[in-house]
Amino acid sequence: MTKLRNMVGDRIRDIRKAKGLTQQQLAELSNLDDAYIGSVERGERNFSIDSLEKIVIALKINPSELLQSYDKQNAVEAAKRGAVDEYTVAMSGLNVDEIERIKRIVKEVRGAFK
């Protein structure tokens, strides 16, 4: 049972960091205690769906993003997941044209490595 709780806590931490938020800032945005946020991230707290919803709303993410698991022991997979988290944050708030421009830039950069 704690495996899922730890995975969700890890994802909350990763997304929070990708968004440049401290535990205190996330606590304020979600109306939860910062010690509570820390214990959730460490997998120590058996959180409620209501608390999880507050965190999801504060992080401005889809709940499904918390269930996207990856192997932290695999450095390449961890780097990919971190890049996806940062890319998602960078894309938030952009319009369709801006998103399309970024996609073209990423495509060009990928081509440079082939």
Q: Indicate the pLDDT class of residue 38, thresholds 50, 70 and 90.
A: very high
Helices (H) and strands (E) in the chain, counts: 6, 0
CATH code: domain 3-71 is: 1.10.260.40
In this prediction the pTM is 0.70
Structural domain boundaries in the chain: 3-71, 74-113
How does pLDDT run across 2-17, given as a tens digit for each residue? 888 998 999 999 899 9
Between helix 23-30 and helix 49-59 the angle, nearest 10°, is: 110
- Please count the other Cβ atoms lying within 10 Å of the Cβ belonging to residue 81: 20
pLDDT band, residue 70 (cuts 50/70/90): low
Higher pLDDT, residue 103 or 30? 30
Q: What is the pLDDT of residues 74-102, one digit of tens each?
A: 778 778 877 888 888 888 888 999 999 98
Q: Which long-range contacts (CB under 8 A, 24 or more apart) does 3-6 make?
A: 5/43, 5/45, 5/46, 5/47, 6/43
